[in-house]
Structure 1
Amino acid sequence: MSLDEFRKSPWQKSHDLYRKSALSVSPAPEYASSEVILASLCRTIGFAGTNERVVPQAGRDLDKKIQRLRERRMPAGEGASASADTWNTVLHGVLESPKLRNQSSKRFLQVTPVVPATALFSGSARLSANSWPAGSMVRRMICLGSRDRKAAESLWKDLFSALTVGQDDDIFARWLEQETHAWVPGHAWELASIPDDEPALDDDDFSTVGFLPARKFAKDLRAIIQAKDAMTRRQWTSLLEAMLRLAVVAHVTWLCDVQARIWQCLSDALSSNGPVGTEQVREAIFPARPQYMTYGGKALPGLKDGISGYLGARLGINAVLWSLHEAGIPHDADMSSSRGIAALCQQVRDNHATLSDHGTLQAFLDLRESESRAMNCKKGIGVNMLEFARHVLGQRDTAEPLLRGYDQGYVLKKKGTSTSSPWVVSLGPVAVLALVHCSLAGMSGPRSIHRLGQHLAAYGIAIDRHEIAASDLGHQLRMLGLVLDSPDAESGMLLLPPFTLSQPGKAPTNE
């Protein structure tokens, strides 16, 4: 592919080095919800033979089968203990997940992913056949957040074991898993190994980079797994969903930030400037203590700016890579580490005259102008990514007003009842429970409220610990019984562990 071909269709095909980089935004995120992410994760980790595109049709087929049996008053299939009427009530009543406002007139099966088997026919990102694999994003986060391949595989196996419905799960979960397999037979729940080509961070980068949401997520995921025995299956999956939704958006936002910083280094290198050597590049491309959102503040404008910066960086980085390729001096190092990016920057500096002759910088400027609507998140990839962040973090806007309280694990909520009201950072009760539990993981007894602020900061959410007590977060903490007010404590409040664990002193680790 030449530079001219890239200019004609800049979003269609990225350079192989860019596409395979551990720092690329892959898979490309689109609309999702916490339930979609969890259902897709179940398919990725245990139903390797189930492709995302077959899920919507499987749901429609199951619904037709149930209605046909009900109309003809026929018995259920072999192995099923529930009648068609009972199973219909379970799927369309007990487990039904509320539809969004724009889905009120659409007919499709959507249930809460309490057990993995429900992911065989529900939880697709789209109702059509081209859904994106949200579960593979979680798998990549586990690889990026683990010290090495062995640690990633260990966490992946432990997650599979936790998602597996066993004798330690409540009786409803065991019945539901068995009944679902009877109605949707032919799918074995087996651990799918992590692909050999799944990228990971360079050892030096992993050890040195201070802010890495994927690493925090890996530790928090272990803490969530350890809490499973302290609650019912439905409560635990809600806790897991709350942790997933914050982590995946923080991860994508961090990648956008890193991509923009990489492009800044390459842009400087085109002028024979910029950082030199691995250490300087590492410091330049990895943010130290970024703040992507502020508690109580508007969230989407900042996220939109980050996505816009990523889109510009994607154009610029690919323009450089295709220019080097066209000039006969392709970059032969990786783009997954600060070492590889430092080598690319040096190569650009050494060949800046050649790249200037090929019009690399001008190509980027022309693309930025011609693709301005895409870069402003008004069409294409930018719209998809912004929609992803909004729906994953935001409280579900249900078609049924009585079901507005269904989603309690949100990170964003509307500030007002108007459709034009802004989305502000405000944690739901389940999200508060999850974060307090993770921030106190491995500890016994109360700890300073400062730990919660530090935990939020690890995902890019800024909050002043002195303002927690008077904010809605402080109100949530008191309502849930998660704080001990004490005039001698820092900020006057101490965090209390929300769950009684079998091994309270065992600290989660993934290193």
Structure 2
Amino acid sequence: MTLEAFKQAPWRNSHALYRGASLAISPAPEYASSEILVASLYRTIGFESKAEGSIPQAGRELERKIQRLRDRHLPPPEGATLPVDIWSTVLHGVLESPKLPNQSAKRFLQVTPVVPSLALFSGSARLANNSWPAGSLVRRMVWLGCKDHAAAHALWEELFVALGVGGQDDIFASWLEQEASAWDGQSSWQLAPVPLAEVANLAGEDFEDVEFMPARQFAKDLRSVIQAKDTMTRRQWTSLLEAVLRLAAVAHVTWLCDVQARIWGCLSSALSGSGPAGADEARNTIFPSSPQYMAYGGKALNGLKDKASSYLAARLGTNAILWSLERAGVSLEGDISSGRGVSRLCHLVREHRATLEDNGIQDALVDIREREARALNCKKGIGANLIEFARHALGQRQTAIQLLRGYDQGYVLKKKGSSSSSPWVVSLGPVAVLAMVHCALAGMGGPRSIHRLGQHLAAYGIIVDRHDIARNDLGDQLRMLGLVLDSPDAESGMLLLPPFPGTQAMGIEQ
């Protein structure tokens, strides 16, 4: 691969040092609802042999199998307890997940991922065979959010146990897992090996010093959700997990976009002869301390689009630098995902800036940006996919059948009006509120100020003024769910109450 090849196809030909960075956005996010995130997570963690691309075909094969058995009046597979007609009713009635308005004419199997075996034939991001592995993104979040490989692997194993159906699960979940497994008859639920090339931790000094990192908050919240499993039904627990996953995944991707843009800022400054001179300065520059990605009650997608656009410009610039240095014969060692690594790269850029300028680095960047203007504006390609991911992961499900419009209650964004052109605003659904309050109070024995919830949302980049909570829809949700105690002695007159008191005092380790 050469600099010329990069200029011809800049999005396809990333430098190996950039592509393998722990802070790279990998896998590249595309469309995914909260249920797709959970279904893909099942496959990533417990079904090693089940590829994402095989899921749509598996759903079609199951439909054909059911129809064949029905037409020939044959019995169900060995181990199944329901007749063919009733199992079809369960899939298309009890478990059916609503389709989007643009999917109403399409025929495919889509069910709620209550138990692992349902993910063997449903929950693919695409109906073709080239779906992106959303579960791998969650796995990278776990590793990046833990201090080392051992801590991440321990949390991953805890999640695997919780996602499986055991003796503590309700009767319906146990029966459903057995029934779905009998109809599949092939895959078995077991902890899949973790490819070390696909996960990475931050450098130790960076992990300790970074003030804001959604993946780290997600790792804590994930353990809180796992500990609450025994206090509710399986369906309630998966809804709680979905709510945390969808907010954490989008916040994590947005944070990566932010960090990538800051890294490019360092390299761009180095091209001018300045930039961070040491690891500490680089670390303080590339990792944001208290960013505001979304404001409660405000429009969300425009701000996320700005971050995605900045990331795309940074991706072009960083790769152009790396390819140009390699073309100049400069030895590139280390990484570009730590304060120390970025500082070292900036030093190389300053040291060889004359050579880079002679090779026309600035002209090359201008030319590439002009050719890729629509992509940089998120009108197509990676940027458009990032916005689609954020919109569908955070937004309340828009259903083809209006009677099912209240199906999704774990959303973070909702339509401000009934029109299709109405903007998406930040407004947490009941399940999302329940999940955030539970995670905010995890490890604490009793009520806390409403300020605690604001701090927790801020850890994911959502800013809310605690004085506004009493008057906005978040305060209404908290009162409706019985999660606050109005008290004139408390800040803003409200105290948060733990939704699952039996789990709140448990210690949350990282």
What is the TM-score when the length of structure 1 is the normalising length?
Answer: 0.99
Residue 122 of structure 2 aligns with an amino acid whose one-letter code is S
Partner of 1:28: 28
Give CA-to-partner distance per residue, 1:474-505, whole Å, 9 cap, x none: 0000000000000111110000001142x542
Q: Distance between the aligned counterparts of 2:148 and 2:61, measured in 1? A: 42
Residue 301 of structure 1 aligns with an amino acid whose one-letter code is N
Partner of 2:146: 146
Partner of 1:241: 242
Partner of 1:367: 368
Contact 2:441 2:448 in 1 (8 A): yes
Give CA-to-partner distance per residue, 1:28-63, whole Å, 9 cap, x none: 000000000000000000001100000000000001
Partner of 1:325: 326
Residue 73 of structure 2 aligns with an amino acid whose one-letter code is R
Q: Distance between the aligned counterparts of 2:384 and 2:341, measured in 1? A: 31
2:485 is paired with a residue of what secondary structure?
strand
Alpha-carbon shift at residue 11 of structure 1 (Å): 0.6
Partner of 1:250: 251
2:140 is paired with a residue of what secondary structure?
helix
Structure 2 residue 175 is matched with structure 1 residue 175 = yes
Alpha-carbon shift at residue 150 of structure 1 (Å): 0.7
Partner of 1:73: 73
1:420 is paired with a residue of what secondary structure?
coil
Residue 68 of structure 1 aligns with an amino acid whose one-letter code is R
Aligned pairs for 1:76-155 (under 5 A) are: 76-155=76-155
Q: Distance between the aligned counterparts of 2:67 and 2:40, measured in 1? A: 26
Partner of 1:425: 426
Contact 2:434 2:499 in 1 (8 A): yes
Partner of 2:265: 264
- Alignment root-mean-square deviation, CA: 0.8
Q: Distance between the aligned counterparts of 2:196 and 2:269, measured in 1? A: 35
Between stretches 438-447 and 467-476, larger displacement belongs to 438-447
Residue 418 of structure 1 aligns with an amino acid whose one-letter code is S
Aligned length: 509
Contact 1:95 1:111 in 2 (8 A): yes
Alpha-carbon shift at residue 360 of structure 1 (Å): 1.3
Structure 2 residue 355 is matched with structure 1 residue 354 = yes
Residue 319 of structure 2 aligns with an amino acid whose one-letter code is N
Q: Distance between the aligned counterparts of 1:128 and 1:280, measured in 2? A: 46
Alpha-carbon shift at residue 273 of structure 1 (Å): 1.0
Residue 391 of structure 2 aligns with an amino acid whose one-letter code is R
Contact 1:100 1:396 in 2 (8 A): yes
Between stretches 174-183 and 197-206, larger displacement belongs to 197-206
Contact 1:219 1:508 in 2 (8 A): yes
2:196 is paired with a residue of what secondary structure?
coil
Aligned pairs for 1:98-497 (under 5 A) are: 98-197=98-197, 198-497=199-498
Q: Distance between the aligned counterparts of 2:387 and 2:147, measured in 1? A: 30
Q: Distance between the aligned counterparts of 2:440 and 2:509, measured in 1? A: 13
1:484 is paired with a residue of what secondary structure?
strand
Alpha-carbon shift at residue 368 of structure 1 (Å): 1.1
Alpha-carbon shift at residue 217 of structure 1 (Å): 0.2
Q: Distance between the aligned counterparts of 2:297 and 2:61, measured in 1? A: 44
Contact 1:230 1:500 in 2 (8 A): no
Between stretches 343-352 and 69-78, larger displacement belongs to 69-78
5+ unaligned residues in a row in structure 1: which ranges?
A: none
Structure 2 residue 4 is matched with structure 1 residue 4 = yes
Alpha-carbon shift at residue 4 of structure 1 (Å): 1.7
Partner of 1:19: 19
Q: Distance between the aligned counterparts of 2:26 and 2:481, measured in 1? A: 37
2:186 is paired with a residue of what secondary structure?
coil
2:217 is paired with a residue of what secondary structure?
helix
What is the TM-score when the length of structure 2 is the normalising length?
Answer: 0.99
Q: Distance between the aligned counterparts of 1:84 and 1:67, measured in 2? A: 9
Alpha-carbon shift at residue 372 of structure 1 (Å): 0.5
Give CA-to-partner distance per residue, 1:135-175, whole Å, 9 cap, x none: 00000000000011110010000000000101110000000
1:424 is paired with a residue of what secondary structure?
strand
1:494 is paired with a residue of what secondary structure?
strand
Q: Distance between the aligned counterparts of 2:294 and 2:505, measured in 1? A: 32
Contact 1:321 1:330 in 2 (8 A): no
Alpha-carbon shift at residue 364 of structure 1 (Å): 1.2
Alpha-carbon shift at residue 193 of structure 1 (Å): 2.8
Contact 2:31 2:389 in 1 (8 A): yes
Give CA-to-partner distance per residue, 1:168-193, whole Å, 9 cap, x none: 10000000000001000111100013
Q: Distance between the aligned counterparts of 1:69 and 1:89, measured in 2? A: 14
1:273 is paired with a residue of what secondary structure?
coil
Alpha-carbon shift at residue 330 of structure 1 (Å): 3.4
Alpha-carbon shift at residue 73 of structure 1 (Å): 2.0
